[in-house]
Structure 1
């Protein structure tokens, strides 16, 4: 398993993967040293993430190889289908999966997503439109939703 650390507008991201695909992308709250030489198997991922942050990419095209249960992987596949700039609730997601009573299981699988941004769990919100839990922090979730919004919000201060 190869790994590297890159700087993003939201902090330092650690990317792990091998020839079978990207295994995980996680964000850190602490300073980290950027990797000087990116392993070959991770170069495309780092490039696509940079394109995303530059506003040049809306969909990732990478081989993915996350670890999880079959149910978690099923949820993550549904997350990949949420269009850029759109969001839906946990209830809507569970209904799309034909499992409307599995809302908590869907939310738990969403929370265990190991592929930050690439599998867009940040696009899932509470039924009332509220920003609910996000492993990367609610400030990052809000930033990502604003980044993807066609109506960019300006800050007053």
Structure 2
């Protein structure tokens, strides 16, 4: 079952997360409100992903080091790649993201693609906000987006005092 799809459900400060992937690639990290389910033993990669997420929530990890893949068009892949370039604790607007991909008129398409990201937190779509600084749209709910951004901003000051 080397190429099979596996799932691992973990608890987090923003609610349960469902990690999905194969033995060689993480394909999704999603918020779930579904009751806990027993899954077959997860491969080492999913356990590593869970550990990296725990480290992120503990404030000990700012960058994820995992093989990831999600299906999408060339445009979507470009947007998702740019999301991974947004530094921990920083935000950009949808308009800035559209400019970064050299397609300033694609603001709505960028927003739609952001919403189709299946790798929550790992591909940090929560770091994209409205041009006026407001929190807009987040598949996991705005309260989660706010929590993640506050977590990252707060963590920037850890150890300074």
The answer to whether the superposition gives a TM-score over 0.5 is yes
C-alpha separation between the residues in 2 aligned to 1:38 and 1:46? 11
- Equivalent residue runs for 1:33-72 within 5 Å: 33=37, 37-72=41-76
Residues 35 and 8 from structure 1, CA distance in 2 versus in 1: closer, same or farther, beyond 3 angstroms? farther
Contact 2:94 2:129 in 1 (8 A): yes
The Cα offsets for residues 75-101 of structure 1, whole Å up to 9 and x where unpaired, read as 000000000000010001101111000
Which runs of no fewer than 5 residues in structure 2 stay unpaired?
157-161
Alignment of 1:89 onto 2:93: yes
Cα distance in structure 2, aligned partners of 1:34 and 1:128: 44
The answer to whether the 8 A contact 1:23-1:64 is kept is yes
**Which residue of 111, 118, 124 maps to 2:115?**
111
Matches within 5 A, 1:132-151: 132-150=136-154
Given the alignment of the two structures, is residue 14 of structure 1 paired with residue 18 of structure 2, yes or no? yes
CA-atom RMSD in angstroms? 1.7
Change (3 A) 1:20 1:151: closer
Aligned partner of residue 138 in structure 2, secondary structure: coil
Task: List gaps (5 residues or longer) in structure 1.
Answer: 153-157
Equivalent pairs counted in the alignment come to 152
C-alpha separation in 2, matches of 1:55 and 1:35: 28
TM normalised by structure 2 equals 0.88
Say which SS state the counterpart of residue 78 (structure 2) adopts.
helix
